[in-house]
Amino acid sequence: MKYSTILIDADDATLIHTTNIFKRLPDLNLVSSYREVKSALGQGTVFNPNLFLVDIDDADNRKSLPEFAKIFPKAIVVGIMSKWDADKAFESIRGGAIGCLLKPFSGEDILDGVKIFSRGVRHTKPRSFSFFSAKGRSGKTTLIANLALSIVRQTGDMVAIIDADLQFSDMAIFFDVEPMMTVVEATRDIKFLSPIRLNAYFLPVAENIQLLCGPKRLEYSELVDVESLTAVVRMAQTLFHYVLIDLPSGVSAFSTNMCEIADTVFLCGMLNTGFEIHHIQRTLPMFEMWEQYGKQLKVVLSRVDDRQKLDIERQLNHKVAAVLPNEFLMVSAANSGKLKNVMNYENLLSQKINTLAGEIIHAH
């Protein structure tokens, strides 16, 4: 693909730099440059551009981004910025930019960026979900893996899973992959990363699904702090349309903070003796105040029949978003390390998760 590019940046050094790097790459052609977005929108059409590089440090440029799609419906817009700022990046993506590059970028960065940012379909603004449970073995990891597959099947969007269940990170086992870079390295390096560099820390595990693996050893979990992980999640949201975060079970500053940054929290539980309902009852008030702020809280219970749902809702005095049946294939596959083989299997559990995924996809 050849790119007829227009640069919009008031900084002379960026213009000189861009002109130089474009000379070296035959696929990149700089057809024009403007200091102001207004001139570009007015005069740019004669050049028939299919790529814009727009300085998004400039507030006027960010505000004008929705205009590009109207005037240049076939062109893609990539934001460029001098230092990473998640708020500016988000505003730009909501405005129609497909992603953001940090200055100084190379020609390869532009081509890589366009390729990475164009993956998937992008039906919605980026969404993030945290999965919390009062205790372990709540069906959390099973739910996340299956939801990710279902979201991709239904939308074709890009999904990231971040395994932040730092001590018992099972997601790599679920997808049968060997962790390379993990959440430990990503949080260590995040201050120096740009979105396209962070992308390399994610491991493709299925079509349109990429995983940031949990720590390779239990003791490395100590190395991951909330602030850095929040920065990783926010940057990941400019690369993926859905970010699903697997959290450690139990209430801690870490897990509640990670719930805080997500748009929706899934409170997960698995029924064994029935006593688990009391644990959810104890956990609910902590999150219920969120609903007053318009955040979503979804209770999902595994190993529960439809017939039990109403009774449980009455006990909890809270709506249950989904009940997932006891699925013996899941357990046997998990025990034999073949979970990936059954995750696409059409059983009642998958059907229920498809319905839940559909609700998430269409919720705004």
Residues that bind ligand ADP (CB under 6 A): 133, 136-142, 170, 302-303, 324, 326-327, 330-331, 334, 349
Residue of 244, 237, 241, 179 lying closest to 205 (CA atoms): 179
Q: Does position 141 bind Mg ion by CB under 5 A?
A: yes
Q: Identify the DSSP state of 182.
A: B
> Given the complex with ligand ADP, which of 54 and 183 has the nearer CB atom?
183
Find where tokens 């590009």 sit: 68
Q: Which does 320 bind (CB under 5 to 8 A by kind): ligand ADP, Mg ion, none?
A: none
**Residues 247-279 as b or e (16 or more Cβ within 10 Å = b):** bbbeeeebbbbbbebbbbbbbbbbbeeeebbee
| CA 166/CA 245 separation, integer angstroms | 11
Instruction: Give the closest residue to 243 by CA, choosing from 144, 170, 356, 115.
Output: 144
- Which CB, 11 or 170, lies closer to Mg ion? 170
Q: How far is the CB of 278 from ligand ADP (least distance, A)?
A: 17
Nearer to ligand ADP, 138 or 221 (CB): 138
For residues 77 and 301, which CB has a smaller minimum distance to ligand ADP in the complex? Answer: 301
The dihedrals phi and psi of 235, each to the nearest 5 degrees, come to: -70, -40
Minimum CB–partner distance for residue 128 and ligand ADP (Å): 18
Asked if 67 touches Mg ion (CB under 5 A), the answer is no
Instruction: For the sheet with 242-246, list strands across it.
Output: 203-206, 209-212, 159-163, 242-246, 127-133, 264-270, 296-302, 320-324
Q: Phi, psi (5° rounding) for residue 140? A: -65, -55
Q: Does 249 bind Mg ion (CB under 5 A)?
A: no
Q: Which does 331 bind (CB under 5 to 8 A by kind): Mg ion, ligand ADP, none?
A: ligand ADP
Q: Taking the complex as a whole, how short is the minimal distance between the CB of residue 165 and Mg ion, in angstroms?
A: 5
Scanning 74-82, 167-175, 232-240, 295-303 for contacts with Mg ion by CB under 5 A, the matching segment is 167-175
Give whichever of 85 and 170 is closer to ligand ADP, judged by the CB atom: 170
Q: Is 170 in the site for Mg ion (CB under 5 A)?
A: yes
Does residue 28 contact residue 107 with C-beta atoms inside 8 Å? yes
**Choosing among Mg ion, ligand ADP, none, which partner's interface includes residue 62 (Cβ < 5 to 8 Å by kind)?**
none
Q: Which amino acid is at 253?
A: A
CA distances for 357 relative to 141, 149, 154, 350, angstroms: 15, 9, 8, 10
What is the smallest separation between the CB atom of 46 and ligand ADP, expressed in angstroms? 57
Q: Which is nearer to ligand ADP, 58 or 163 (CB)?
A: 163
Residues that bind Mg ion (CB under 5 A): 141, 170
